[in-house]
Amino acid sequence: MVRFFCTNPQSNIEQRSLQRTMLCCKRRGFFYLSLMIFFCGCATMNIPDKNSAPTSPIHDKKIEVKKAHSLGYYHFTLARLYENKGKMDAAIEEYKLALAYDEKSPSLKTSLASAYAKKRLLHEAIQQCQSAIITHPEYLPARLLLGGLYSSIGDDKAAIMEYEAVIEIDPTKKEPYLFLGALYSKTKEYQKSIASLKKLVEIDPNSGMAYYYLGKVYTEMERFGDAAEHYQKALERRPRFRNVMIELGATYELQGENKKAIDLYNDLLNLHPYDTSALNNLGHLYIKEKELDKALEQFEKLRKFGVNNIHIQIKIGLIHFEQRRYEKAIEEFNRILSTDPGFYKAQYYLAAAHEEKGNLERAITEFKKIPLKSEFFPNSQIHIAFILDKQNNRKEAMAIIQEAIEKNKDAPELYRFLASLYEKEKDYEKGIQLLKKALKILPNDIDLRFDLGIIYDKAGDPDKGIEEMKSVLKLDPKNAGAMNYIGYTYADKGIYLDKAESLIKEALKLRPNDGYITDSLGWVYYKKGMIDEAIKELETAIRLAPEDPIIAEHLGDAYLKGGKKEKAIKMYERALKLDPEKKVLTEKINLLKEKKLP
């Protein structure tokens, strides 16, 4: 069929080219058949035979140029075909052959650069773009691609220079403003980024992408209100813009506006029911809002849609755990471990689920499966010791933790738990020595030092307790617990009451709804003789921590001092019910009832 159109035999190279073209024609249909006829061109190219009259040199030159152009275009077209099929190596070779017929073509060089880029041959791609720009400095596609290539290899300054060059050549070109906005944001030059993106908005007020990237820049700057405003403008221009909806939802989350974020993700899922990011984010939000059934629904949908990875499974298991559906939690964690026995987070929660269900021996067995190398090892040993202590086997519990410490000397939680066991035994000296040993290994651990201060206090040495708490504040000046300890100890001793009040008020700024700190402030006022203020604070404290006998006793003392004897009796009785071993309360109550106390 090909030869039918040709008047002269062709070289082997041409024959091979025609065969390749024929193959494309069979696959691509009539359009590519027409191209094949065009590239063959025998009827129109007037190739002379040996019997024809000689032609002039000028005429020969025109034919040669025309033929070269046709062959170049032929290779270019094949390159595009290969590129569309993802055959980059073949496409690159065809672009090179096309360039042999048109060595200065910036379009061909840019196309070859693009093919190199798809093969991740970035330096070769850069060379082709640079070559195109040398001969045609104002060829913008080469500059735009070169900017992207520089950005890909991390040369942001060179990328910025290319995009700025594009703007200088054509200030109305939109793409460079967008790319510059993203690059300046990456280099944390936020004002330049904003200026570039706002310039794009001037050129194209309907650019959803400009508003989208402005939202991202403001998010980076932690100006979440401005970010939300610009994401909303992007959505006005592109109402189904999925990325904007995801980013706006995340911005609402950062602002603490969880309800808005939930509504937005639900809107997104109405448009794209299989959007896994929206389902995942929505699930986490429902967890934050303590709507665990709705959270579970989202994660189950993810699993249904094929996102059955371990992290989704562990969330499903933990929701069942949190809702005390321990059998289902156990089933989920076992499913995870059947596919990945080394996923020790699942092993840890499997053991914890058995513990909560009351299967204590099985829980110990499962906790023991967690190896030393796991981050869950220290807590697994603490759980085992806790169960043993609960079973009145404190010595074995202590031995388990001591052995764990020998294996893992850098785990502060192990020292703290063992110290708490010594404290239960009222062996305060052992607890003190243990925590001192731990602090030699971990001198900057705040919790160890705090616990040492508390155990000094229980051992009857509050002054050393205060020293440790001051050390805590040096490490962590905003530690409300240490402030409260020092303030309360001063108040209890009746010393430095102004300093005590100042410390406790500072602690309350950090933890405003803490009943124990509120009790400390009430106790300072009591010691200062400010009884009305003391009663007010202590009444708040008992609402915040209703099960604490010391707060109840303090409020009883304040009522008594304020002449409210009946209220004092009721509060002492409440304190005694919470702590039946405190005999002094029984004496107070009896004396009040017998009217022997003023």
Q: Name, in order, each residue with C-beta under 8 angstroms of 259's C-beta and a sequence gap of 6 or more.
A: 289
Write down how long the chain is: 598
Indicate if the pLDDT at residue 142 is higher than 70.
yes
pLDDT per position as a tens digit, 457-476: 999 999 999 999 999 999 99
Indicate if the pLDDT at residue 61 is higher than 60.
no
Count of other CB atoms within 10 angstroms of residue 329: 25
Q: Look up residue 205 and give its DSSP letter.
A: T
**Long-range contacts (CB closer than 8 Å, 24 or more residues apart) made by 96-104:** 98/72, 98/73, 99/72, 100/72, 101/68, 101/69, 101/71, 101/72, 101/75, 102/68, 102/69, 102/72, 104/135, 104/136
Q: Look up residue 545 and give its DSSP letter.
A: S
Confidence of residue 66 (pLDDT cuts 50, 70, 90): low
Q: Look up residue 222 and give its DSSP letter.
A: T
Indicate if the pLDDT at residue 72 is higher than 80.
yes
Can you tell me whether residue 366 is helix, strand or coil? helix
- Identify the pLDDT of residue 572: 95
pLDDT per position as a tens digit, 164-213: 999 999 999 999 999 999 999 999 999 999 999 999 999 999 999 999 99
Q: Name, in order, each residue with C-beta under 8 angstroms of 71's C-beta and a sequence gap of 6 or more.
A: 17, 39, 101
Check if the beta carbon of residue 55 is closer than 8 Å to that of residue 48.
yes
Indicate if the pLDDT at residue 595 is higher than 90.
no
Please provide residue 241's backbone torsions phi and psi, each rounded to the nearest 5 degrees.
-70, 100
Residue whose C-alpha is closest to residue 201's, from 223, 178, 183, 232: 178
Residue whose C-alpha is closest to residue 484's, from 521, 538, 534, 447: 521
Check if the beta carbon of residue 509 is closer than 8 Å to that of residue 516.
no
- For residue 268 the two structure tokens come to 């997104």
Average pLDDT over residues 535-564: 97
Q: How far, CA to CA in Å, does 503 sit from each of 255, 490, 568?
A: 30, 10, 28
Indicate if the pLDDT at residue 317 is higher than 60.
yes
Q: Across the chain, which distance is largest between two alpha carbons, in Å?
A: 144
In this prediction the pTM is 0.70
Residue whose C-alpha is closest to residue 70's, from 93, 39, 95: 39
Task: Tell me how far apart the alpha carbons of residues 178 and 245 are, in angstroms, rounded to a whole number.
Answer: 19
Confidence of residue 418 (pLDDT cuts 50, 70, 90): very high
Task: Tell me how far apart the alpha carbons of residues 424 and 327 are, in angstroms, rounded to a whole number.
Answer: 33
- Identify the pLDDT of residue 135: 93
Check if the beta carbon of residue 475 is closer than 8 Å to that of residue 449.
yes
Indicate if the pLDDT at residue 448 is higher than 90.
yes
- Share above pLDDT 70 across residues of the chain, in percent, rounded to a whole number: 88
Task: Tell me how far apart the alpha carbons of residues 380 and 349 are, in angstroms, rounded to a whole number.
Answer: 10
pLDDT per position as a tens digit, 12-35: 333 333 233 333 333 333 222 232
The sign of the torsion formed by the CA atoms of 62, 65, 71, 75 equals negative
Higher confidence at residue 18 or residue 353?
A: 353
- For residue 32 the two structure tokens come to 């590519």
Indicate if the pLDDT at residue 45 is higher than 80.
no
Helices (H), 511-563: 515-527, 531-544, 549-561
Q: Name, in order, each residue with C-beta under 8 angstroms of 385's C-beta and a sequence gap of 6 or more.
A: 397, 398, 400, 401, 417, 421
The backbone region for 442, taken as left when phi is positive above 0, alpha when psi lies in -120 to 50, beta otherwise, is beta
Q: Calculate ∠ Cα 504-510-513, nearest 5°.
A: 85
Average pLDDT over residues 62-72: 63
- Identify the pLDDT of residue 6: 32
Average pLDDT over residues 449-453: 98
Average pLDDT over residues 333-352: 96
Indicate if the pLDDT at residue 588 is higher than 60.
yes
Looking at every residue in the chain, the average pLDDT score rounds to 88
Residue whose C-alpha is closest to residue 551's, from 587, 597, 595, 514: 514
Task: Tell me how far apart the alpha carbons of residues 579 and 557 are, in angstroms, rounded to a whole number.
Answer: 16
Task: Tell me how far apart the alpha carbons of residues 210 and 218 are, in angstroms, rounded to a whole number.
Answer: 12
pLDDT per position as a tens digit, 467-517: 999 999 999 999 999 999 999 999 999 999 999 999 999 999 999 999 999
Q: Look up residue 324 and give its DSSP letter.
A: T
pLDDT per position as a tens digit, 148-174: 999 999 999 999 999 999 999 999 999
Residue owning tokens 């829980």? 363
The sign of the torsion formed by the CA atoms of 29, 33, 39, 44 equals negative
Higher confidence at residue 129 or residue 306?
A: 129
